[in-house]
Structure formats: C-alpha cells, structure tokens
Chain A
Amino acid sequence: MKKRVTLKRTIRWTVRLLFLVLAVFFAIGGPLPGIAVELFPKLENLPTSIARIFPGLSPLVLASSTLTETSWYAGLYWGLPPLAVLLLAVWKGRLFCRWVCPAGTAYAIPATFSMKKTLVPKRLSGIVFWSILGGAAIGMPLFIFLDPLANFNRATILITGTYTAASIIPGIILPLFLLLSAVQPLLWCTHFCPLGYCFDLVYRRSLKRRWQSPELRREVVLGLFIGIPLAFIARKFPRAKGAEEDHPVLPPGAKDIDTFAARCTRCYACVNACPSGVIRVGNPVGRRISQFFHPELEQDKAHCEEFCNECTQVCPAGALQPLTVDEKRHRQIGVAKVRREACLAWADNEYCMVCQEHCPYLAIENEPSPEGIPRPVVLPDICRGCGHCEQTCPAIRAGKAIIVYGVKAQKEAEDAF
C-alpha cells in the first residue's frame, strides 16, 4: 500500500528533516555555509553549548541523573526543555518522536522502504526503561547509554574525525538500527526505545489503560530485577584495585571516577567539543564494566588547554559540571609522574626540560644533577594533569618519560604563582 503525499506529511517531513540537520550540526559544531554567516554574522561565534541542546532534551537523562545524584543538577535553564518535552508527551503522547527526535527521523527514512519482516517479536523498551530507573535509584543506571538522543549524538563521532578504534562499537549502534529499520520498520522506536516508552507511559489518553495492565507490572518487575542487581555488580565488585595508575584521566568537571562512570550517557558531546582533540572514547581494555567507552583524555598526542573550558559547557547529563575558565585552570584532573629511566635528563644527561617549559602551572621543578644538568620533578599538589608535558616529552628510547595518571576525585589544585 502506497502512502499518499499529503500536505500534512510534507510539512511533517520538512520539520523532521530540519531537526535532523540541526541535531547533526549542533553535534559536530559546523561549519556554517558562508551565506548564513553573511546574513547573521553572530552565527560565526556560536557557543559550544549548542552541542548540549539535543541530547539535553531527554527527560529520561534528566530523571536518571537526578536520581543517581539525588539532587537537581540541570539548573533552571537547562532543566526546562526536558520537562517541556515530558509535558508534551502527557498532552500528545509520542509527538516528540514523530516530529522532533533526530534518531526517530533517521530510523523513519529506511522504514519507508522497509521489508516489513519481524525480527524481534517482543518489546524490550519497558524493561530497558525500568532497569535504567532502578539502576539510577541505587546510583548506577547501566543502560542510560540507550537513551535515543545520546545514542544519536554518539554516532556523530564516526563523522567528526575524533573517533578511535574504541569508538566504533558505541558509534555503530545507530547505523545498526538504521539497517534493522529497513527490515522491521522503526524497530528501535517501537521495541527498544526507553524514552518512547516513557512517553507512552505518561500519555493522558492511555494513562488508565496502561497503568492497570498486567504487562506494565511484568515490565517493572523484570526491569528492576535486571537493572538493580546489575547496578550493584557494576558498582561493588569489579572495583579498580587501589592502584592510582588504573584511573582514567577524566575531562575537567567530572566529580570522581564512579560518579562520572554512572552519569555519563556516552553522548560524546565533550569528545566533539574538545578543540584540542584530547578527549577520546576510552579503550575498554583494563576498565570496569561501568567505565566502558566513557570519554577519557589521551594525552600522548594532545593536551588539555589552559584557557579552555568547552567540554564542561556541553554535558547534558551533568557528568561534567560546568566550570568557568578560571575554575577549569585550577581543576586537578590528574597528576604527572616522571619515569626517570626513560627521561632524557635523568637517564641520558641531556639538557631538555621540555616538560617544565610547557607546564602552564609551574608544577615542574628543577633538581640539577651534580654536573648541573637540570632534571624535572613534579609537584603533585600543583599539577593539574593537563598533559602538556606528556604530549611534548621528546623522549622515545623507552617511551614518554612523563605520564599523567587520573585522580580518583578531581579537586582544586594549589596555585604556584
């Protein structure tokens, strides 16, 4: 049966595609067509925080992060849009899915020429939704990465050039469901999407029917039964074994390694926002389950710039607190350690001190050798862990001679000046 091209359909598709383009544009941050800049010169300096708009629309992320932290994190300004989306769902059900959601639009495109085969007979969205809420209640919403807006945003790292080998697995979820949607139309939206389920749940017309159905009870029980024990396992058991070296270096604004792992939705807005390209999708090898694929700093080829706070402005889940440039400058995200056996000064008697030269915070002291050759020593209370030293360390014989290790909890570092 062929659908007729009606005016309403045309308008709806125009609006949807517009939102889709906007969502991609906000996620990857430009470049703008020249004519747009000519017409509106202010557009050229759009704030980085536009990257937060789309992933920040999800009331599911708002609820999960608020539950996890047991406090309101989003502020008035950023808290209103997701609440408005929720209210819209009470009034109109899944209107958001059909008009705004960029992931929904993306899936709807292959669905128009779908084979209409049934791949997954049972709807799993309810179980996903309740396991997220259950996990959040005890501080570890393991499945929050299935939020459709985070999922959509995540896939954009495949086109921004910030991807690493580790980013392929998380990035592939959206493309995979695009393919599946060509087999079973809108498979994601109907069978997996926890946000769509949430909209169905609060829709005023089906409220009574839904909340009385035995299906809901099954979903709640099964969801909590899966979500809560898994969250406990992820939280309690595979903890890092105490060694400081095991901690990843997290972007500035993360509170501590556990809170960040729990709250990060893996939308990778910070990865895309970082002008230095130092924030990358973490390699899961050697990480706990709860830390899989979350953003980390890889400082051997880039560093966290002193006067930059862009990543802290884009996090939709409050996993990164917004910091001013000055707060960011004082934030200790890691501590550098000198590997003396690899160091040009300590091991090879060379005049080097590139690490000290590049340290913006005066965190490296000179401890001269008996022959007067300067040798670096890190002051751990002053070091911010920006990685400028690691990036520029010229040693190659035994690898980099100065390496930044993550801290368990970020804090304000002392000022040397």
Chain B
Amino acid sequence: MSATTFSTAGISRRDFIRTGIAGTAILATRPTLFAAEPEAEVWMIHGDDKAKLMTQALKVVDQNGGLGTNVKTLALKVNAAWARKPERGATTHPTLIKTFLEGCQARGITKTVVPENPCVRAEHSFTRSGIQEVVEAAGSTMIDLKSEKKRFADVNIPNGKNLRKAEVARDFLEADAVVNMPIAKHHGGAKLTMALKNWMGAVWDRGYWHRNNLHQCIADFGSFMKPNWTIIDATRIMLTRGPQGPTRDMKHPNLLILSKDQVAADSVATLLFHDSPYEIPFLKFADDMGIGVVSPDRITVHKVEA
C-alpha cells in the first residue's frame, strides 16, 4: 500500500529505501494517518492455463498503475526453496514465472533478477523445481543467495517488535520494483506460507526468526518489505505436509491471487485453507500492527476469469 502511494507520488522504490529513516518515519505514521478503515483490492484470477492466468494478471497490473513508474530493474521473489517438481506444489510454478518475466521485458524493464535463498542446495532446488531453466530462457538471472553472504545488507526494521534488524539481499533493496510471487501451501511452523512468509527466502539468518516468535517476526518483516505487487500462486495447493511435501492431500483451485497489499493477498489466500484469516497468528499480528488489510470485510475481491 505504502510503496504504491510513493510511486504514484513520483518517488521510486530506490529513492524510498535511500531516504531511509525519513521514509520509514512517514511509514510509521501512515496507519494512524488513515486509521479510519484502510481498504484493499484483491484480484482472484481463475483458469486452467497458467500462461493465460499470468497474462491476465499482468493486464490487471497494467490497468492499476502498472509495476511502478519508470521501472528499469525488477527483483522477483519466487519460491524456489525445495527440490520438488512443479506439480508437487512446493515451489512457484515455472510457467507463471516465465510468462511474468517475458511480460516484464515487453513492458520495457531491462533487467530482472530472481534471487532466492533456498533451503536445499541450489543445484537441486533451482533445477528440480524447473525454475532456473525458465528464468534463464527468459533472459533473466537466477541468483543463489545461499552461496553469497556478501549479497546481504544490514537493514533496520523500525516498526518491528521482535525483528528489529535483518540481513536482506541487496537485490531487493536496489531494484526499482519488487514483485513477490510465492506459492500458497501448508506449513508446519507458520501454519500457512504465502506472501509474508515468502520473505524468509530473502534474508540470511532465518534461525533468529524461529527463536524469537516466528509469527511476530514474519509480520515484522512485512512492515519493512513492501513489494509493488504480490501474485500468489494458488493453482495447486498442499493442504498438509508442507512446506516441502510431497503429499497426496492437494487441491487445485487454479487461482492467482493478485494485490498491491501482500497482507490482503495472504488474507484472501488463507480462505482456501481455513475459515478465517485470524486463525493464522502472523496475520493477526499484521492486523495489530496495521501493515496491511486482514479483515475480509475491508477487502474488495474482483473475480476474473482467464
């Protein structure tokens, strides 16, 4: 939400990060400024064909302000953490990534990067998930953050409660636009993993989060990292045994969930698994901190058929 406001005001993401404290100070006051019921828009795009789904998603993006103003570089956060085949639903579907990156090129974005700190060595996770192949074929660059500690920069998270500092991959801080493209699935510790939880693949020390109330840390990081767009892959979802699987307990909603507010996107995606987004502790914390819209009453859902 906030990042969008800035880009419409003619300030790019990069300027926003550079302004640092000033920027975050404004950010900190924002929830109180608009304390009157902030609302969010979410698009649920339905269809069998994954390429068509993403093409439709990009159309929605175009109609709603695009990926940002004067965007030349873009960092895409996918989920390529596990050595699992695409159909298992542990990683973002490669076809979606391929169509998205091609769409970026067509929109004049000269440089795209796909950085990821995988849980399994990149030579297994990036390849078996089919993601490295499509990223390279689309002329983009896949970056294995696990092997390069020096790619991370120390950042302060002024609004964080438990997570006040983190080492974040520079690629996400320096790009003109950031898009979060996670997959929605069951998760042992976090209950579900969608957009907010996906950022754990952009930081160096994940252990700290687990030792200091995982759910609070997930929400804390969400107060810092605000992508321009969030596109949740819910074409196939694991209902148990996540985040790695494999499991036979799967559903195929054939959905993309699209929003400028990653919290709202998570809230809508949660309803594929649970009755209420408030069943997920990190969404409850996100709501308390006012970093996005959780309450389904305040989210306008547009259903689109691809």
Contact = CB atoms under 8 A, between A and B. Distances in A.
B213 A350 contact: yes
A157 interface: no
Interface residues of A, number: 26
Interface string B113-132: 00000011101100010000
Contacts of A356: 188-189
By size class, the interface of chain B is: 20 to 34
Contacts of A353: 188-189
Contacts of A394: 206-211
Contact of B188 (A307, A374, A392, A396): A374
A305 B120 CA distance: 8
Interface stretch (B29-37, B72-80, B239-247): B239-247
A72 interface: no
A351 B214 contact: yes
B210 A354 contact: yes
A344 B209 CA distance: 12
B294 to A, nearest CB: 18
Interface string B181-194: 00000011111000
Nearest to A395: B211
B211 A350 contact: yes
Given A306-B120, A357-B243, A360-B244, A352 B214 contact: yes
Contact of B244 (A344, A350, A359): A359
Contacts of A276: 121
A388 B210 CA distance: 16
A305 B121 CA distance: 8
A237 interface: no
Interface in A356-393: 356-360, 362, 366, 374, 388, 392
Contacts of A352: 189, 210, 214
A307 B128 contact: yes
A354 B243 CA distance: 10
A392 B119 contact: yes
A351 B190 contact: yes
B244 A357 contact: yes
B275 to A, nearest CB: 15
A275 B120 CA distance: 12
Contacts of B188: 353, 356-357, 366, 374
A40 interface: no
A245 to B, nearest CB: 25
Interface in B110-168: 119-121, 123-124, 128
24 contacts: A275-B121, A275-B123, A305-B124, A308-B124, A344-B211, A350-B211, A351-B190, A352-B210, A352-B214, A353-B189, A354-B189, A354-B207, A357-B187, A357-B244, A359-B244, A360-B83, A362-B241, A362-B245, A362-B246, A366-B188, A392-B119, A394-B208, A394-B209, A394-B211
Interface of A: 275-276, 305-308, 344, 350-354, 356-360, 362, 366, 374, 388, 392, 394-396, 417
